[in-house]
Structure 1
Amino acid sequence: MNKFAMMIAALLTAVGSSAMAQDTIVLPGEVRTYVLEQNTPSIQYEGEIVVGQPVPDVVEVHPIPDQPEYGYAVVNEKRVIVNPKTHTVVQVLE
């Protein structure tokens, strides 16, 4: 590979890495723990749940005590952290 191609590859890698870092949200540990411990029934939904997009209106968002900036839902057997004001998906827990 010539030097120009290597420089372009390095630049694209750096740009992609910084873009991914901006999309990563670090949740307080107690939010993740609380959501994983809840025995909440799963809602079945035909579509895909995507970070950055709102959950469908049929999905009930549950509050997280002492964490008003986060809520959660369980959709298609996956636990989803959402912004309770906008219902936007913040993170899907695996």
Structure 2
Amino acid sequence: MRKTMLAAAAILTISSAAFAQSTVIVTDPAPTGSVVLPGEVRTYVMEQNTPSAVYDGDIVVGTTLPDTVEVHTVPDMDGYGYTVVNERRVIVEPKTHRIIQVLE
């Protein structure tokens, strides 16, 4: 009976470790404090011919752009919007207009 319980415990431990390895949690991987974008988002934004808005402020991660700056959605990618400000492409949170990455 004891061997059966030990075997069951070992199997549960191994299977939970294997399951945990298939999950990736990204908290803040980029050294600049910005997020890691799915490649499709960056590609889509870089290919768009979007006019640049003028903004009298710093274009840095964390800045919230005013509602007067038009934010465009990224198709099929909830949580990502973009705009071009002062000739710089930026990824923003669509609901808050907060810059989450400046594309170079």
- Same fold at TM > 0.5: yes
Match of 2:40 in 1: 30
TM-aligned CA distance change 1:85 to 1:21, over 3 Å: same
**Percent identity among equivalent residues?**
64
2: CA distance, partners of 1:61 / 1:36:
15
How many equivalent pairs are there? 77
Secondary structure at the counterpart of residue 36 of structure 1: helix
Question: How far off its partner does 1:50 sit?
Answer: 1.9
Equivalent AA in structure 2 for residue 69 of structure 1: G
- Which runs of structure 2 are paired with 1:12-91 in the superposition (5 Å)? 21=31, 23-91=33-101
Could you list the structure 1 runs, at least 4 aligned residues long, displaced by more than 4 angstroms after superposition. Answer: none
Cα deviation per residue 1:64-84 (whole Å; 9 max; x = unaligned)? 000011000000000000011
1: CA distance, partners of 2:54 / 2:32:
30
TM-aligned CA distance change 1:70 to 1:46, over 3 Å: same
**Consecutive unaligned residues in structure 2, runs of 5 or more:** 1-27
Structure 1-normalised TM-score?
Answer: 0.73
Task: Name the Cα RMSD after superposition.
Answer: 2.1
TM-aligned CA distance change 1:22 to 1:39, over 3 Å: closer
TM-aligned CA distance change 1:44 to 1:24, over 3 Å: closer
Structure 2-normalised TM-score?
Answer: 0.67
Name the larger-Rg structure.
Answer: 2
